[in-house]
Amino acid sequence: GICFTFPNDNAAGSIVTFSDQLQTNPPRPGAPLSYVDNRSSNTAGEYVTDIRLTREVRSGAYTLRDYDFRAPAFELFAHSPKRSPEERFEQYHYLPGATLVEGGKAGSTPAADDRGVARHNQKYGLDRAERALHGSRVGRETVHFVTGSIDIWPGMVLSFDHHPHADVAQKLLVLGFTIEGNVEGKEWTISGHAVFAKRPYRPPLRTEKPRIFGVQTATVVGPRGQEIHTDEFGRVRVQFPWDREGRADEKSSCWMRVSQGWAGTGFGMMNVPRIGQEVLVGFLTGDPDQPIVVGRVFNAVEQVPYKLPDNKTVSGWKTNTTPGGGGYNEIKLEDKAGKELFYVQAQRNYDELIKNDETQRTLANHRKTVVQNQDLIVKQTKKELINIDDHLHVEGNRMQHIDKTTSLTVGVDQHESIGRNHALEAGQEVHIKAGAHVIVEAGARLTIRGPGGFVDIHSGGVDIVGKVVNINSGGSAGKGSGASPKLPADAQEAQPQDSSS
């Protein structure tokens, strides 16, 4: 710790001296103060009397702990060297930021270190713990005295002689004194107390660090022209309403961590407060040097996304396109009875990845409109079950390519109407079979062609042409392989799990 003293300068005004090693000050000029056992009014010269040595039990060990969010698993302890025989009496303090020091290299977080580097240093914590222990042990041994010398001042190093106990015949560091006298008397009495200068002197911590209780509102700030200002840890900077010096820019405050709804190792929730938004700032253990954003609030400028109280039954998450605005992504939930709604909007692209099964069940109607193109790839089997009707209208062309077999089973009738041409080609066989009738009609011409001839029926008659034409002259009809279509496998009904059941 730093001490300040006012040494005598024998001149107008005062000199203020700052030191962190008062015990090394030069000794008081002149000879040591002589001890006088029985002081009387006739005692002359410089003397010291009424010497008392008091001892108190003080802590013999000091431990402080800090927390480094850059290394949260590291137990950041700092232990002072122990002092016997009181080493069992330990002071333990949790002091966030106690080991934080400026300096060093930026490393892998240039955004976080844009205004300087500060890192936790355990060695600095060890030094601080040792200094704190020295300060807490200052009053362990105190020498009280009365003297007639008027040049004594706090911070002076002096010594006594001619005392029967050698313990007090050491260099002493004066910590305080009191001057007493009256207008009738001729003598002024100076009472003082001192500690042994052989030990490092650290002033005990008497002034508590200021504390901020509760939370405060602030506005997120950043460089001009930006809408989001953050670092590698999702921290933001703010300006408080009471700040008269800040300019609402990236220099208005330090980085502040932001509380999120869920924070895990590479998972959780993330939405960074944007410049201009109002946030709530709390302080860890009330420490002004440990601010953290704990919430966000709307105001008359940063208004709610859904007009209130008209939409008081609406919950949602609505974003804003950046930079410039004009678009948004949204998840909206309407809980008004009879009008319940789950609404999703993607301002541009919507990507969905399901690593196992997807189950959907629509208890009423399902409508889907794709304004441009749709691609569907099923890498194994696709099954569909339509309990009533299936309607398909293709306004352009329809192309199908089936690498293997198509099986079509129609329970009642099949009707096909083709506006112009119908071409059917089989690599080996076309077999048409009817349980009762097969009727083939042509409005202009009907032709049956084979390798040995043809039959042509037209408006002018019937032409039968062949190398040999046999009528009722033996032979036999050809046989087809027949139709044996396979029935489709039944689709499984979707049964999503209900969280309320």
In a domain, residue 465? The reply is no
In a domain, residue 150? The reply is yes
In a domain, residue 470? The reply is no
Domains: count for the chain: 4
CATH number, domain at 272?
Answer: 2.40.50.230
Does the N-terminal peptide bond of residue 81 adopt cis geometry, omega within 30 degrees of 0? no
Q: What is the C-alpha to C-alpha distance for residues 241 and 227, in angstroms, rounded to an integer?
A: 20
Tell me how many helices (H) and strands (E) the chain has.
1, 25
The H or E element spanning position 135 is helix 122-136
Whether residues 79 and 121 share a domain: the answer is: yes
- Enter the tokens of residue 191: 């009472």
In a domain, residue 363? The reply is no
The H or E element spanning position 125 is helix 122-136
- Enter the tokens of residue 115: 């205004």
Task: Give exposure, 398-414, as e/b (b: 16+ Cβ within 10 Å).
Answer: eeeeeeeeeeeeeeeee
- Enter the tokens of residue 294: 């704990």
Residue with tokens 């209900």: 498
Specify the pLDDT at position 282.
Answer: 98
Whether residues 299 and 177 share a domain: the answer is: no
| Residue at which a domain ends, from 173, 196, 219 | 196
Q: What is the C-alpha to C-alpha distance for residues 257 and 231, in angstroms, rounded to an integer?
A: 10
Yes or no: say if 296 and 276 are a contact pair by the CB < 8 Å rule: no
Tens-digit pLDDT string for the chain (501 aa): 788 887 766 666 678 888 888 888 889 988 899 999 877 655 667 889 999 999 999 899 999 999 999 999 999 999 998 877 888 899 999 999 999 999 877 778 999 999 999 999 999 999 999 999 988 888 899 999 999 888 888 999 999 998 988 888 899 999 999 988 877 766 678 899 999 999 889 888 888 889 999 999 999 999 999 999 999 999 999 999 999 999 999 999 999 999 999 999 999 999 999 999 999 999 999 999 999 999 999 999 999 999 999 999 999 999 999 999 999 999 999 999 999 999 999 999 999 999 999 999 999 999 999 999 999 999 999 999 999 999 999 999 999 999 999 999 999 999 999 999 999 999 999 999 999 999 999 999 999 999 999 999 999 999 999 988 888 877 777 777 778 877 888 778 778 877 665
Task: Tell which residue, 332, 229, 219, 328, has the closest CA to residue 280.
Answer: 219
Q: What is the C-alpha to C-alpha distance for residues 60 and 135, in angstroms, rounded to an integer?
A: 11
Specify the pLDDT at position 501.
Answer: 54
- The CA-CA-CA angle for residues 140, 144, 148, to 5°, reads 155
Yes or no: say if 237 and 201 are a contact pair by the CB < 8 Å rule: no
Whether residues 224 and 299 share a domain: the answer is: yes
In a domain, residue 468? The reply is no
Whether residues 263 and 123 share a domain: the answer is: no
CATH number, domain at 165?
Answer: 2.40.30.150
Whether residues 124 and 262 share a domain: the answer is: no
In a domain, residue 51? The reply is yes
Whether residues 103 and 239 share a domain: the answer is: no
Q: What is the C-alpha to C-alpha distance for residues 190 and 152, in angstroms, rounded to an integer?
A: 8
In a domain, residue 426? The reply is no
C-alpha distances out from residue 201 to 20, 127, 175, 449, Å:
8, 14, 10, 121
Whether residues 167 and 121 share a domain: the answer is: no
Specify the pLDDT at position 14.
Answer: 73
Whether residues 294 and 227 share a domain: the answer is: yes
Whether residues 34 and 174 share a domain: the answer is: yes
- Where in the sequence is the domain holding 339, given as residue range(s)? 314-345
Whether residues 148 and 13 share a domain: the answer is: yes
Does the N-terminal peptide bond of residue 85 adopt cis geometry, omega within 30 degrees of 0? yes
- Enter the tokens of residue 215: 């939370």
Instruction: Give Cα 48 to chain centroid, integer Å.
Output: 65
In a domain, residue 376? The reply is no
Residue 144: phi, psi to the nearest 5? -100, 145
Whether residues 86 and 96 share a domain: the answer is: yes
Whether residues 322 and 293 share a domain: the answer is: no
pTM for this predicted structure:
0.80
